[in-house]
């Protein structure tokens, strides 16, 4: 029978400690300033993240304007416009608390209808649009995670982290070459279990097999310069994605990816026009799951132990049977 190492009050204290310490560590590592962010954007702005392309955003009509608004699915595009509007300079950036509703999510131990993550974005120059800069950045993020784990252990000595000291970087094509008979999810599990923490690069475009490692929207990450941070979590025997990030599209990669995705109609949208006209800076950015990080660092076995959400009746019953308390 499962027994949490923290009681309910300790859990709530732990959640606050993880969030406060990690965002401070992240801001220092990447030179970021916290800003406020929208919960929703207008449907016709082109600012909402399309994620994998099939998720349906939550929509509602705005009484005073008659326009449709959408609850954000992530802030990948909004952040880039905010950097320009706030007049950030190269080498500096922003982070924010992003809250979203993923209505099409299938709920399980690591997936919820409610999403909370740290969204961050930083201005770079053209010489930094390369794989080496991407990998240096993920190293900084992973170091911030390890520092947070150490800080949590100092407060709760019973929570000894088993995250490895180092993270390895590997391309999705290298993974396919190594395990050609496996699915993308199976490859992620194999490599994460082997190394403990991995950053898989090159997600969105077709591999040599003609298949994609995973889907990505064509208008925020450059598919050649992005990646997912995945850790192996022994308590669930799962590979868990903590972050999706990347160097963002420039004019050339935007046009190429829109054409590949048969989404050229998006060029008419305000965000895309601003990018095509050189009104947006070159950036790198991503999202880091708050509840997933809390779950791992507080050694929980269900994301519902560190966040409030709505769960299917069967899942609630299974958790009750296993002594898992959902907030």
The DSSP code sequence of 201-266 is E--SSB-TTS-BSS---TTSEEEEEEEEEEEEETTTTEEEEEEEEEEEP-HHHHHHHHHHTT-GGG
**Which residues in the chain land under pLDDT 70?**
49-54
Active-site residue identified among 108, 147, 241, 318: 241
pLDDT at residue 68, rounded to an integer? 85
Residue 117 bears catalytic tag: yes
Residue corresponding to tokens 């192996």? 232
pLDDT at residue 42, rounded to an integer? 81
Class of domain 8-321 (CATH, top level)? alpha beta
Question: What is the SS3 assignment for 41?
Answer: strand
Residue 102 bears catalytic tag: yes
Work out the burial of residue 183: count CB atoms within 10 Å of its CB; fewer than 13 is exposed, 13-18 middle, 19 or more buried.
Answer: exposed
| Average pLDDT score, the chain | 91
Residue 228 bears catalytic tag: yes
pLDDT at residue 51, rounded to an integer? 64
pLDDT at residue 298, rounded to an integer? 97
Residue 266 bears catalytic tag: no
Active-site residue identified among 73, 74, 112, 117: 117
Residue 116 bears catalytic tag: no
Residue 7 bears catalytic tag: no
Active-site residue identified among 184, 244, 257, 290: 244
pLDDT at residue 54, rounded to an integer? 66
């Amino acid at each position: 029978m499962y027994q949490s190492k923290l009681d309910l009050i300790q859990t709530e204290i732990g959640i606050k400690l993880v969030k406060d310490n990690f965002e401070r560590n992240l801001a220092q590592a990447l030179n970021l300033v916290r800003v406020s962010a929208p919960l929703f954007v207008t449907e016709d702005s082109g600012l909402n993240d399309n994620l994998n392309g099939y998720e349906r955003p939550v929509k509602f009509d705005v009484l005073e304007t008659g326009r449709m608004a959408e609850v954000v699915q992530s802030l990948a595009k909004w952040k880039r416009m905010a950097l320009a509007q706030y007049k950030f300079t190269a080498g500096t950036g922003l982070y924010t608390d992003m809250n979203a509703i993923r209505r099409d999510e299938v709920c399980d131990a690591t997936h919820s209808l409610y999403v909370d993550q740290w969204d961050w974005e930083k201005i770079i120059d053209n010489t930094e649009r390369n794989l080496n800069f991407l990998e240096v950045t993920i190293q900084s993020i992973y170091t911030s995670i390890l520092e947070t784990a150490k800080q949590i252990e100092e407060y709760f000595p019973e929570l000894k982290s088993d995250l490895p000291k180092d993270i390895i970087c590997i391309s999705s094509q290298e993974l396919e070459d190594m395990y050609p008979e496996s699915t993308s999810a199976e490859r992620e599990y194999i490599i994460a279990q082997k190394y403990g923490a991995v950053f898989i690069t090159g997600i969105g475009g077709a591999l040599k097999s003609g298949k994609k490692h995973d889907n990505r929207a064509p208008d925020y990450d450059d598919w050649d310069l992005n990646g997912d941070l995945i850790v192996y979590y022994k308590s669930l025997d799962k590979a868990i994605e903590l972050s999706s990030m990347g160097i963002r599209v420039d004019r050339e990669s935007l046009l190429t990816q829109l054409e590949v995705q048969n989404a050229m109609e998006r060029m008419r949208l305000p965000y895309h026009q601003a990018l095509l006209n050189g009104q947006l800076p070159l950036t790198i950015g991503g999202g880091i799951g708050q509840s997933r990080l809390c779950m791992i660092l507080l050694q929980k076995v269900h994301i519902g132990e560190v966040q409030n959400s709505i769960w299917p009746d069967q899942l609630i019953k299974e958790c009750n049977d296993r002594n898992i308390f959902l907030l």
